[in-house]
Structure 1
Amino acid sequence: MNIQRCLPVGNDYLLGLLASCLVALVILTEEVVTKGAPQVFTNSFLVEFNNDVTREQADKVARDHGFDNAGPLLRSKREFHFIHKGLPATRSKRSIPHHRNLKTDPQIKLVAQQPGYKRTKRGYRPLISKGQVPLDKTQEPTDPYFKFQWYLKNDGSMGGKPKLDLNVEAAWAQGATGKNVTTAIMDDGIDYLHPDLKFNYNARASYDFSSNDPFPYPRYTDDWFNSHGTRCAGEVAAARDNGVCGVGVAYDSKVAGIRMLDQPYMTDLIEANSMGHEPNLIDIYSASWGPTDDGKTVDGPRNATMRAIVKGVNEGRNGLGNIYVWASGDGGEDDDCNADGYAASMWTVSINSAINDGQNAHYDESCTSTLASTFSNGGGDPKTGVATTDLYGRCTKTHSGTSAAAPEAAGVYALAIEVNRNLTWRDIQHLTVLTSKRNSLYDGKGYFKWQMNGVGLEFNHLFGYGVLDAGAIVAMAKEWKTVPQRFHCDGGKINKTLAIPSNGSLTLYIDTHACKGTENEVNYLEHVQAVITLNSTRRGEVVMHLESPMKTRSMILSQRPNDDDHTDGFSKWPFMTTHTWGENPRGRWRLEVKFHVPGQNTGFIKEWNLLLHGTKDAPYKNLAAPDPHSKLAMVKKAHEDRR
């Protein structure tokens, strides 16, 4: 059962070409996602032509059959998004007549009516607007809400711990303000007329995929529900010293609005085109949403969306790769963000949150795919949230949730990219690991302690590698040398049905050489995926730990008490950990599977495939470590000692 196989792939571009073959390993199929739940179908259709066609030719075919052509999928010359406005936006059954109508055209190869599914904003809170306060004329930003932005400068005055913040002033002092960097806010629209945003708005990079026009302005509702995107945008790029609201982390950067959340049901085509929109104009995509955070949903990107993300990291930013920043989720301790295929993807940067006294927020999910943390609520006063822009020129102090955390991270990355335009998507992840700080972060309930992995990197199951440090990441980015080529090794597979004991645990082992001596050799880990198929009488009671050869133990799945599934289980689900970053993968990997409460459930694990992602060459050998006690120095020494 200790099998060693290597994928015939040498880089991320080739991996992208194989995405359709790997879809079972990295996403849920449509059948698995919708099994056991009422199906919903939209009036959108994916139409694939036999040969390349122009936009005008596709428009004509759409008109001939009574459809509107909403445009190509990911700039394809064969795949297009057709909409039939005569059909209801959602219905319970597929429209066979409309499908047949399109299929009668000899130019068309494939027609797929798009299922609808739910995607929810993370951290939405009802609006509480406050009037502006007089300017505070100091050397700090003069914006009236800056004194409420404790996540930028925490002086302890709002019940927080002094210096527990993003350390942005250290980055600004180095001249980093985000110039010529664009972050796309994929959300419910942006109030691009807001006086704190209008001069930093990138109209060329913006689009409304909910209404199919270039004006992603939020749709008005009485409860201002669609203020979410505007609030996120202000965290990134609100202007400085203009007397309005607060200041953005990267206040000279640009924001683009991608309106894609504001419809009853999401489709794969809308998600895919949103994540692939203008990849050479957009540097960072910020997403503060995901599958429903109810503690029982297991869901992730569909085929076209996964293709868009893989294409973005391989080809976006003119080959450097787009950065996808994701809010880890607001399901609290009853959920696990490794059951969210967006946050748990190795192609996204999953960001959790902390409150201003160092604890995790009550809604924070935990999982091994979280890379780092930023901030959301204040601790002493639950109304002390994130101060930022709001709809119609107003301001708010109550933005919160991991929704608020992800845009802060996007702003920090904009600062790093400004000082080093050659940073790749992987460089951003390496910089995050090396510069994030433990600071004063801690689990208020005492469940998760800080641990050290095999090369001396400190991590926490809640906070990843710590809170982002803008000053440190900018300083290191200036001297950064791009990391070596990345490889993908199939480290081994157990393909046998084995019972999970009702009492006790099932332990499986894979001994791997990590593709040593082949073109896909991995000696220094980045991400590790345990692709698992299992079923049990109650899915939410299954708990799994993965232990590396260097004895780093990752809880890749925790108890989810609301998840009572007994039919779907997990089908080739890629549980991902970042906790073994920098380690040598060669040796014995140990998977432990058990039930949280003994004696009440039964189940079977049917497959475990170990996928190792990292470099053959040492990633930091060309970097100087001026501080002998820094993370960089410790990891370099661990790598040198190993050789």
Structure 2
Amino acid sequence: MLALHRDGTPAALALLLAPLLHALVASARAAHGGSFSGHVLVQMHEGPEDEAHRVAAEHGFDSARKVSFGENLYHFYPRDGAQARRRRSAQRRKRLEKDHRVKNVFRQEGFRRTKRGYRDINEIDANMNDPLFTKQWYLINTGQADGTPGLDLNVAEAWELGFTGKGVTIAIMDDGGHSCSSYDFSSNDPYPYPRYTDDWFNSHGTRCAGEVSAAANNNICGVGVAYKSKVAGIRMLDQPFMTDIIEASSISHMPQVIDIYSASWGPTDDGKTVDGPRELTLQAMADGVNKGRGGKGSIFVWASGDGGSYDDCNCDGYASSMWTISINSAINDGRTALYDESCSSTLASTFSNGRKRNPEAGVATTDLYGNCTLRHSGTSAAAPEAAGVFALALEANPALTWRDMQHLAVLTSKRNQLHDEVHQWRRNGVGLEFNHLFGYGVLDAGGMVKMAKEWKTVPERFHCVAGTVQETHHIESGDRLRLAIRTDACEGKENFVRYLEHVQAVITVNASRRGDLTINMTSPMGTKSILLSRRPRDDDAKVGFDKWPFMTTHTWGEDPRGSWLLEVGFQGEASQKGVLKEWTLMLHGTQSAPYIDQVVRDYQSKLAMSKKEELEDELDEAVERSLKTLLSKN
């Protein structure tokens, strides 16, 4: 296991999270054994950077690049075609290991990462001198393409308040773009231009970038959500395989310059994959939220997935990470898109298409070859819209931390007219309304910037391992397994958690058919989270889930003290059997009330609801003061 320093990460946090990170890595590797990519991570002994370049050249590598994390670590890139010659690559690696200038060599396995929302479709013609702003219903919905008027991101209010994303930099981690803060980790050069192909496959990053930062009033295509923000293109998807070091390098690129990282990709959305970030990428994500933006934390925005009802985004270790903001999508009349995945880790939603045949119901944005398109779709289109909204909030208040942004998303997102045909809207134990597919609702740019302007940083975050069940329990069709963990949430200890943010159920379970497994968890305040729904295409009978961290945001703000109930069973026609070997409950949140210093402007708002006890106390005190005043006058 590679040992890397995490300067600035609290020691207690590192000790607490290390077993979970390693378990997630092991589970991902077990689920999908990769192929050797030809890329290697090399740890050099102390010496000048030129020495690493000489070593790389001497051993037949194309180039070496010092990575931004760890000590004396370099990414050695293979020469063109080298990854295909496995035997020669292995020999080269063995010679490298014997070089006295080299301390350690770590091979990089190749694995699959897919763009979300790409469809092989015929593009419509767009007049380059004809702005598409009136087609951008997700910005201002007046009923275009048979949409529901008013169902949009409410960017008009944010723009009217003077917020356009100025001073904020957003990285589009994809297949290419243009910017001075950009980099090409696929080819190891600072020119992340997309590779032009006849099938438009590499238009993905260009389209996502246009949604965020397309300039206003230039008679070209449409307008970006944060049209005065800066965009950095990070090219890392356009290659046969992904590697851990390329992902980690992309996520950790210029973290003191880049504020927001937008990712519209992830493990294959085939309904049978369980996968997530490897060790270096987990390290980079942890470093990002702890050290990025001068310690305020990098903001990672992730598309929740395009597997539809056949998949569950809690099986995606990127979208279900507590360090990312997972974004789903709705279409222009408030219904779900056909590709939308549901899960308890989704925080909020924006807009895309995926149901209507009307060509104007898609997302209008920039495209390759200087063109425009109306056909961008998938949660790929949803994540950049969210990144744009967050950029507006950061302009309103640059002091916002990565956790502040998540709190703002919870408090200002709205149900509006979103309609889920399967899952009902419910209220959690503190009255916050959520949906298993849309999270806490659609982002409201106007509401978010207004609250961001007056926002006070939330209190320190703590982590509590609330309990573990390690006995073996058998599961059979028709008989749900029910297990309980009663916890005081580490009360009386320095890591006591009173107000919840994220909750993780780290579970090891095997089944005769993994896809028929369903897992629910109910909090002490009565909120039920669907941690895993049925995935009918998943036939796995060997790997199962090995210490997999299922995450929920649905208990946000609740008091975690009491009994947590886990229910595991099977759904499907065939009879199945399984074994649950372990369940660990992990609580993440604050000791003090997170909104105690926030100003309530609307007493019907989620913020007011979350501060109900405080407001009632204030009202009681005010009434008591008034009575005393009246009595003194008499």
TM-score category, normalised to shorter length = over 0.9
Does residue 239 (structure 1) correspond to residue 244 (structure 2)? The answer is no
> Which shifted more, 347-356 or 622-631?
622-631
Supply the RMSD in Å over aligned alpha carbons.
Answer: 2.0
Change in 2 beyond 3 A, CA 1:639/1:602: farther
In structure 2, relative to structure 1, the CA distance for the partners of 1:16 and 1:82 (3 Å cut) is: farther
1:433 match: secondary structure: helix
Deviations along 1:168-213, one digit per CA (max 9) or x if unpaired, are: 00000111000010000000002x3xxxxxxxxx41x100111111
**Residue deviations 1:208-234 (CA, integer Å, cap 9, x gap):** 111111111110111111000000000
- 1:23 equivalent in alignment to 2:10: no
Q: Residues 15 and 379 (structure 1 numbering): CA distance in 2 closer, same or farther, change over 3 Å?
A: farther
1:30 to 1:161, Cα distance in 2 relative to 1, 3 A: closer
> Alpha-carbon deviation of 1:81?
1.0
Moved more, 506-515 or 25-34: 25-34
Q: Which amino acid aligns with 1:183?
A: I
Higher relative contact order (CA 8 A, sep 6+): 1
Residue 123 of structure 2 is aligned to residue 128 of structure 1: yes
The structure carrying a bigger helix percent of its residues is 2
Structure 1 residue 157, shift from structure 2 partner: 2.8
Report what 1:260 is aligned to: 236
Secondary structure of the 2:144 match is: coil
Q: Which residue of 1 aligns with 2:364?
A: 387
2:262 maps to 1:286:
yes
Matching of residues 351-500 of structure 1 within 5 Å: 351-377=327-353, 380-383=356-359, 384-443=361-420, 446-500=421-475
2:504 to 517, 520, 529: 529
Instruction: Give the whole-Å Cα distance in 1 for the aligned partners of 2:88 and 2:280.
Output: 20
Given the alignment, which residue of 92, 113, 132 partners 1:98?
92
Whole-angstrom CA distance in 2 between matches of 1:408 and 1:236: 6
Return the alpha-carbon distance in structure 2 between the equivalents of residues 94 and 302 of structure 1.
Answer: 25
* Percent of paired sites with the same residue: 59
Cα deviation for residue 87 of structure 1 reads 5.9
Whichever residue aligns with residue 198 of structure 2, its letter is D
Matched AA of 1:620: Y
Structure 2 CA distance for aligned equivalents of residues 188 and 550 of structure 1: 44
Which of 509, 512, 516 aligns to 2:491? It is 516
Q: What is the CA–CA distance in structure 2 between the aligned matches of 1:316 and 1:495, rounded to whole Å?
A: 37
Note the 1:567-586 alignment, pairs <5 A.
Answer: 567-586=542-561
* 1:586-618 residue CA offsets vs partner (Å, 9 max, x unmatched): 110000000013761000000000000000010
Q: Kindly provide the amino acid, as one letter, of the partner of residue 546 in structure 1.
A: M
Q: Tell me: CA distance 1:31–1:410, structure 2 relative to 1, closer, same or farther (3 Å).
A: closer
| TM-aligned CA deviation for residue 26 of structure 1 | 4.0
- 1:112-135 residue CA offsets vs partner (Å, 9 max, x unmatched): 221101100000123514222766
Structure 2 vs 1, CA of residues 322 and 15 (structure 1 numbering), >3 Å: closer, same or farther?
A: farther
Aligned partner of 1:41 among 27, 36, 47: 36
> Where does residue 32 of structure 1 map in the other structure?
30
Partner of residue 551, structure 1: 526
CA shift at 1:16, angstroms? 6.2
Contact 1:361 1:377 (C-alpha < 8 Å) held by counterparts: yes
Does residue 1:329 correspond to 2:326, yes or no? no
Counterpart contact for 1:500–1:605, Cα < 8 Å: yes
Please give the alpha-carbon distance, in whole angstroms, between the structure 1 residues aligned to 2:502 and 2:577: 30
Corresponding residue for residue 563 of structure 2: 588
1:187 aligns to 2:182 (yes or no): no
What SS does the corresponding residue of 1:561 show, helix, strand or coil?
A: coil
Q: Which one-letter code corresponds to 1:278 in the other structure?
A: M
In structure 1, how many angstroms separate the alpha carbons of the residues matched to 2:59 and 2:82? 17
Distance 1:589 1:21, change over 3 A: closer
TM-score computed with the length of structure 2 as normaliser? 0.93
CA contact (8 A) 2:28 2:277 kept: no
Instruction: Find the counterpart in structure 1 of residue 224 from structure 2.
Output: 248
Q: Give how far 1:492 is off.
A: 0.5
Change (3 A) 1:30 1:133: closer
Aligned to 1:165: 152
Give secondary structure in 1 for the equivalent of 2:531.
Answer: strand
Among candidates 73, 80, 104, match of residue 74 of structure 2: 80
Q: How many residues align?
A: 609
Residue 230 of structure 1 pairs with residue 206 of structure 2: yes
Deviation at 1:414, TM superposition (A): 0.3
Q: Distance in 2 between matches of 1:189 and 1:127?
A: 21
Q: 1:98 to 1:133 in 2, by over 3 A?
A: closer
Q: Deviations over 1:418-442 (max 9, x none)?
A: 0101000000000000000000001
What's the secondary structure of 1:592's corresponding residue? strand
Q: Distance in 2 between matches of 1:379 and 1:357?
A: 10
Query: Displacement, 1:638?
Result: 4.5
> 1:176 pairs with 163, 166, 184, which one?
163
Q: Which runs of 5+ in 2 are unaligned?
A: 1-5, 619-634
Amino acid of the residue matched to residue 113 of structure 1? Answer: R
Question: Counterparts of 2:464 and 2:24 in 1: how far apart (Å)?
Answer: 15
Residues 433-454 of structure 1 show CA distances to partners (whole Å, capped at 9, x for unaligned) of 00000000011xx320000000
Distance (whole Å) between structure 2 residues aligned to residue 266 and residue 321 of structure 1? 25
- Supply the AA of the counterpart residue of 2:314: N
- Equivalents in 2 of 1:17, 1:530: separation in Å? 19
Change (3 A) 1:484 1:26: farther
Matched, 1:619 2:594: yes
CA distance 1:91–1:451, shift in 2 (3 Å): farther
Confirm or deny: 8 A CA contact 2:212 2:225 kept in the other structure.
yes
- Distance in 1, Cα, partners of 2:388 & 2:343: 23
Residue of structure 2 equivalent to 1:141? none
Matched residues in 1 for 2:355 and 2:143: separation?
11
TM-score for the superposition, normalised by structure 1: 0.91
Instruction: Give the conservation status (yes or no) of the 8 Å contact 1:456–1:638.
Output: no
User: 1:93 deviation in Å?
Assistant: 6.7
Q: Separation in 2 of the partners of 1:77 and 1:87?
A: 29
Q: 1:641 to 1:346 in 2, by over 3 A?
A: farther
- Please give the secondary structure, in 2, of the residue aligned with 1:392: helix
What secondary structure, in the 3-state scheme, does the structure 1 residue paired with 2:340 have?
coil
Aligned partner of 1:309 among 270, 278, 285 = 285
2:295 corresponds in structure 1 to 319
Q: 1:63 aligns to what SS in structure 2?
A: helix
Please give the alpha-carbon distance, in whole angstroms, between the structure 2 residues aligned to 1:378 and 1:568: 32
Instruction: Give SS of 1:415's match.
Output: helix
1:73 CA drift (Å): 2.7
Residues 311 and 90 of structure 1, relative CA distance in 2, 3 Å threshold: farther
Counterpart of 1:14, as a letter, is A
1:118 equivalent among 112, 119, 127: 112
SS at the partner of 1:316? helix
Q: Which amino acid in 2 is paired with 1:406?
A: A
Amino acid at match of 1:481: K
CA distance in 2, matches of 1:477, 1:94: 56
Question: Are 2:295 and 1:298 equivalent residues in the alignment?
Answer: no
In structure 2, distance between residues paired with 1:640 and 1:508: 37
C-alpha separation in 2, matches of 1:12 and 1:333? 38
Structure 1 stretch displaced more, 40-49 or 273-282: 40-49
Q: Determine the C-alpha separation between the residues in 2 that align with 1:389 and 1:472.
A: 27
- Tell me the residue number matched to 1:55: 49
